[in-house]
Structure 1
Amino acid sequence: MKLKVLASGSAGNSYILETETEALVVEAGVPFKKVLRNVDHKKINGVLVSHEHKDHSKYIEEYKRYGKLYISNEQLSKKAEWLGGFRVRAFEVVHNVPCYGYLIEHSEMGKLVFATDTGYIEYKFQDISHWLIECNYSKNILDQRVKEGFNTHLADRIVKDHMSLETCKLFFSRNDLKVARSIVLLHLSDSNSHAAQFQKEIQELTNKPTYIADEGLEIDISLVPF
């Protein structure tokens, strides 16, 4: 199983989970032709879209025209569904529109938690092998920018709707990471984050391999590597 990051941020979001025979696409924030450059369309079992904001959903109708399966988050939040070999369950997160994270299971990777565009995550998870979690901004950086004249209303919206480094660290400190194999930090702000610092602090806290979801990142998330 491989994780491929096609985009992660306010300009667009797209992630692929891919085995040798099937794939699951998470978010539809890039054109489908970009997805096709990274995975055979015949392998795609489904597309998950966390919420309606365009950097996550802009191209969903284009994906549907190619016949790619999309199941509503309301349905996935009531019970888990199988998309090929992927078992998916949605859970609500905290944003300014209805927004969902996903618990995704597959025999080749174990369990994976995906959550982005949320002020915090109220749930605890067990036996998670891989974490894809938003780490959008640092409170210290944002506070300094406000002092320098950054729009306070926009700063308040960021605090309510996105996860800070500090909240991300608290989240991981409250979850069981015994079987965790990787942590990928999503949706870093261009101006309110510091990627190297975020990666270093999360990895030191968790003692787990930590990555930044930059475009082009590809990592093996197999339980048994290829």
Structure 2
Amino acid sequence: MNRMKMSVLASGSTGNSTYLETEQGSLLIDVGLSCKRTEEALNSLGTSLKNVDAILITHEHSDHIKGLKVISKKYGIPVYANEKTWQRIESKDIQVASDRKFHFNPLEEKELLGMDVQSFNVSHDAIDPQFYTFMQNDKKLSIITDTGYVSDQMKGIIKDSDCFVFESNHDVDMLRMCRYPWMTKQRILSDVGHVSNEDAAHAMHDVITDRTKRIYLSHLSLDNNMKELAKMSVEQILNHYDIDTDNDITISNTDKAIPTKIYQI
């Protein structure tokens, strides 16, 4: 049976990219690493940018499109983003050849590489941010990061996934005590900022079902979170809801520079 395979190549404020593979080909969700670092990450998994068939962009922030200009020019990979995001990308002097530029607008569904892919909006301070769910052979992967909160609509779309890449950005107490300017703290804590460990865990509780087997904690703040703290905070809340994180669901960390091992969904 055709099974999706994935790896979070990198996740955090310095760059975000996720690799997804099927028997029909492979794609990247965001290219927030440089072309060189993206190639190195893929090489460590035994593949290459030459084998990537598509790139899906979530929004125009630099930690999600840093490598787009060079990768697009060098490899000519088809790139998908929504109309408003394309406008912002091009305003940053990032040009993609017209025959390699495709629109994937919010709440739209497309078939890519044998997968049914749906886009959905999130609440973040970009022009029109969106993330994606991927379904194939009754298996479902949902990626949701860079959101200030998880709405009922988002939950309805991502619920019942076998695997999640889920934002767990910051510990609220660490953020409040850090040296960030107050305006920056307000932005992160706002509805268009980033989800905290605790809020992420409560949202996870609403979308986890018996089929859910793995959750990757992503976009951890370098200054206001720690892998061990994020994992402990999420597990404690899920355990409170009688979700067994020792036997039923694996909570996995991601890294700003080291790809996660290939996981077959």
Smaller-chain TM-score range? 0.7 to 0.9
Calculate the TM-score normalised by the size of structure 1: 0.87
Match of 2:26 in 1: 23
Q: Judging changes above 3 Å, is the alpha-carbon distance between structure 1 residues 126 and 13 closer, same or farther for their aligned structure 2 residues? A: closer
Q: Note the C-alpha offset of 1:110.
A: 1.3
Deviations 1:25-77 (A, max 9, x none): 01111123333331233432211111111111122222322121112235342
Structure 1: unaligned runs, 5 residues or longer:
none
Q: Distance in 1 between matches of 2:216 and 2:208?
A: 16
Alignment partner, residue 149 of structure 2: 120
Deviation string 1:158-212 (CA, Å, 9 cap, x unpaired) is 1121111121011012223211111001111111112102112323414210111
Give me the CA root mean square deviation: 2.1
Q: Structure 1's 85 and 63: CA in aligned 2 closer, same or farther, altered over 3 A?
A: farther
Structure-2-length-normalised TM-score: 0.75
Amino acid at match of 1:119: G
Distance 1:220 1:11, change over 3 A: closer
Evaluate the alpha carbon distance shift between residue 104 and residue 154 of structure 1 in structure 2; reply closer, same or farther with a 3 A threshold.
same
Query: What does residue 134 of structure 1 align with?
Result: 167
Aligned pairs (5 A) from 1:27-42: 27-37=30-40, 38=42, 39-42=47-50
- What is aligned with 2:61? 53
- Given candidates 123, 129, 135, the residue that maps to 1:105 is 135
Aligned 8 A contact 1:2 1:218 in 2 = no
Unaligned runs of 5+ in 2: 84-103
1:111 counterpart SS class: strand
The alpha-carbon distance between structure 1 residues 150 and 222, as it changes in their structure 2 partners (threshold 3 A), is: closer
Query: How many pairs were matched up?
Result: 219
1:63-111 deviation digits (Å, cap 9, x = unpaired): 322121112235342421122123221111011112111111233x811
Matched, 1:159 2:159: no
Between 173-182 and 74-83, the greater mean CA deviation after superposition: 74-83
Aligned equivalent of 1:216, options 258, 261, 264: 258
Residues 41 and 186 of structure 1: CA distance in aligned 2, closer, same or farther (over 3 Å): same
Q: For 1:23 and 1:119, how far apart are their aligned partners in 2?
A: 29
Structure 2 SS opposite 1:47: strand
Checking the alignment, whether the CA contact within 8 Å between 1:114 and 1:132 is kept in structure 2 is yes
Q: Identity over the aligned pairs, expressed in percent?
A: 28
